[in-house]
Structures are given as C-alpha cells and as structure tokens.
Amino acid sequence: MPAQTFRMGDGRGDENRGDGETPVHEVTLESFGIDATSVTNDDFARFVDATGYRTEAETWGFSAVFHLAIAAPAEDVMGAPAGTPWWRGVKGADWRHPGGRDSDIVGLGDHPVVHISWNDAEAYCAWAGRSLPTEAQWEAASRGGLDGARFPWGDDPHGDDSVPDPTPKPRDGTPWRMNIWQGVFPTENTLEDGFLTTAPVRSFEPNAYGLWQTIGNVWEWCADWWHPGYYGVSPLIDPRGPERGQVRVMRGGSYLCHDSYCNRYRNAARSSNTPDSSMGNGGFRTVDRRDDSPIGAPV
C-alpha cells in the first residue's frame, strides 16, 4: 500500500448506531504490505503442520455455526445466543470442520480459514513473521484509493460508479461484486452470488490495490482494541486503537450480511468481538511485521 493520507470513517450516513464510525477524520499512514486475500485453509494448515497449534475452538470443543450451515449430529448442537437465533454453538466445529464434525475442508483449500479467534490469528502471525493490520491500515487498503466510497469499487453495491454501465457483471457472471446474503435473512438465501457460506478468496474482482474480498465473505480481525468513541480522540498519524479494552476490532462483514439487519459490508463499517471468540464467518489477513505496542490515546 502506498504511503497516504485518507479520510477514515463513514461520511455517507450509513453508520450503525453504537459502532463508532464517526467522526470522519484524516489519517496518515506510511507504506505497508498487506495480504491480497484472507488467510486460506491451506495457509493455516501449513502453520498447524509446522507447529502442532490447536485453535481455541478445538480447545473449547465447540464454536458458533450459522444454522443453515450445520453439519453435525443433533446431539452436538447447543443453544442459540440471545438475540441471534440463527447462530448455534456446535460441538466439534472448528477450522477443519466448519459446519461441525460431519463436515471437512476437502476441496476448500482456497477458501478463507474460519473459526479463528483473535488469539489464534496472533499465533499464526507470530509463526509467519507477520502482524494483524491496524484498523486504519485495513480501511486504507480496502478503500483502494477511492475517497469516501462505500465499497472497494465505488458506491453502488452491484456496479462500478466510474463507468457508464451502472451494473457491469463480475467475471463469474453474477450481478454481485461480493459474497453477502441475498433473499430473506436468516431463512432463505437465493444464492444470487453463488455462495451460501464462504467463497474462494479470489472470487469476484480485486480492488485498485489488488486486494480481494475485503468486504463480504468473512469478517477479518484487526490488531486494535475497539471502543465506539475512539475516532474522537484518534491520532492523525498511524493510529493503533485504544491502549486497552475488552473486545477487538473486526472489519469487512461476511457472507451473512444483509440490509435487513446488518449493513456492515462497507469500507467504513466496524464491529468487534472478544479475543477468544470464534465463528463460522470469521477469519483474518496479515500485514508486514510491525511494533504492535499501542500509541493511541486512551478512551
């Protein structure tokens, strides 16, 4: 990514209340390298083969699976979290068994690894000599140099605002530029983009910086602690998030995002989760190794 100063945050009025996507503020970053794609199952398998690492989902013995993606005996399915009945805790669900113990990742080597906690992602980074991106790095990379755009290609969810045809089709022939939910959430997915859950990491089209699927497909962990008020005190140069917190930043949305309940498949959208949480739509990508000590203002 080139060194740059960009406007970070939501200037379109799309912010989800409480997510802290405002105020829009200028951020200056030095150049950095970032993975073109989310870390894949094949990538993560090399790490596990080299180190014997066990993810937190494997240690706990369960993880969160979307109800239509469960592939497990009934006795493995646990209760649904309050407020999100489309999720189930599933015993035996982990990165090798994304739907539960009756599933596997055969043929999914080029799909993003999922059921990865923030702690798991950090362990991978330590082995690979990489780091998780700061939230500012992630947003600058996702924007692809487009100032204030909703999506990596522009403002229209289907097309490219920079060309006369408002709805050009990506090379796979679908009218979609990203892997999100179509239909009636959470019961009916019409699969207009071709995928119920994850898509191969090099599906659809890359942005102007060459990054694939920064939005949709899977949530991606960032290095920062999350706080809804952070943008009001964020440093102008190389912000790295609050000095402390309880949850870590996640960016980009996933295959479950739908306007009826979650419009977080945008460049500016923010979410968060506890560092030991894992789920069937959560993964990560990495950046050049850096000093991860926090320098941001406390909130």
Domain ranges of the chain: 1-299
How is residue 97 written in tokens? 């068994």
Q: Is the peptide bond before 186 cis (omega within 30 degrees of 0)?
A: yes
- pLDDT > 70: percent of the chain: 91
Amino acid at 126: A
Higher pLDDT, 61 or 156: 61
pLDDT above 50 (res 169): no
How many Cβ atoms are within 10 Å of 161's Cβ, its own excluded? 13
pTM for the full model? 0.92
- Tell me: cis bond preceding 23? Omega within 30 of 0 counts: yes
**Beta strand pairing call for 282-283 and 219-225:** parallel
User: Cβ distance 81 to 63 under 8 Å?
Assistant: no
Quick one: pLDDT band at residue 292, thresholds 50, 70, 90? low
Q: C-alpha distances in angstroms, 130 versus 33, 71, 90, 125, 239?
A: 10, 33, 31, 5, 18
pLDDT over threshold 90, residue 299 = no
Is 1-299 a CATH 3.90.1580.10 domain? yes
